[in-house]
Structure 1
Amino acid sequence: DVTGWGENDRGVSFTFGPEVVAKFLHKHDLDLICRAHQVVEDGYEFFAKRQLVTLFSAPNYCGEFDNAGSMMTVDETLMCSFQILKPAEKKKFPYGGVGTNRPVTPPRNTPAAQPKKGKK
């Protein structure tokens, strides 16, 4: 559990604890922070006594994760609800998987793809 601010494992951003969330919400007179851009297994995940929610809308992210995706709807009474995008079943791809041992697609406009010159 994180308290206050700290560096993340990769050294490119920061982690923060629930008291940082509470202080930010109080200072800006807000009730909820909704953030994204981090894979969460169930498509959404609450933090800091449900004062922050992380959404991730891409199920099976990059074909590497078994995560669900989600969308959040906020109604006129500010009630939040979530629509879950279930992860697809793993499919077997030819050539052993996506991006592995696949034949290369030839680039466009190569000499072989040019129309023959001459008679029209």
Structure 2
Amino acid sequence: MGVCLGSEEFGSDSNIARSINVPDQGLLGDLLWADPDKDVKGWGENDRGVSYTLGPDKVAVFLSKHDLDLICRSHQVVEDGYEFFANRQLVTIFSAPNYCGEFDNADAMMSVDDSLICSFRILKLSDKKGKIGFSNISKPRMPRHKGGKG
């Protein structure tokens, strides 16, 4: 679930038909293409030419409104495989290393344990003979959800 301009209710994406073409405007397009931007307050123009950018303030409002601690998103290249935004209230996870042969990016996988602690596993393609290297990152650890058990 992402943050989007047209979304009124959390979970409103559950009625979206699957295997459809993504329109340039509207809820589905915003869920896919909206990008965080630290230099924006509220909503801003997106360089992609579709959807919007959102500032840290929109992340905080969304999380507060829905009693959540973290937004996980993708569909944007980040150098180290994952990248936090808005005081670790949003994380972008990207899982295509050396994207399109044009970026020297790692990929990441995020795991969430039973205590709602997040950890990351990084995959970095090596320049030497196409070797792949893994590294486990146990930080940053995210706190248990405010409304969670225990």
Identity of aligned residues (%): 78
Q: Are 1:50 and 2:85 counterparts? A: no
Partner of 1:114: none
For the residue of structure 2 that corresponds to 1:22, the secondary structure is: helix
Is 1:33 matched with 2:71? yes
| Structure 1 unaligned spans of 5+ | 92-120
| Runs of 4+ that moved beyond 4 A | none
Q: TM-score, normalised by structure 1?
A: 0.72
CA RMSD of aligned residues (A): 1.3
Scaled by the length of structure 2, the TM-score of the pair is 0.58
C-alpha change, 1:33 and 1:18, in structure 2 (3 Å) is same
Q: Is 1:73 aligned to 2:111, yes or no? A: yes
Identify which range, 81-90 or 45-54, moves more after superposition.
81-90
Give unpaired runs (5+ residues) of structure 2: 1-38, 130-150
Partner SS, residue 48 of structure 2: coil
Match of 1:89 among 106, 127, 143: 127
**Match for residue 57 of structure 2?**
19
In structure 1, the residue corresponding to 2:68 is in which secondary structure?
coil
Cα distance in 2 between the residues matched to 1:90 and 1:4: 44
For residues 47-106 of structure 1, the C-alpha deviation after alignment (integer angstroms, 9 at most, x for no partner) is 000000000011101111100000000001111000000133177xxxxxxxxxxxxxxx
**Aligned-residue offset at 1:10:** 3.1
Q: CA deviation at 1:7?
A: 1.2
Task: Give 3-state SS (helix, strand or coil) of 1:26's partner.
Answer: helix
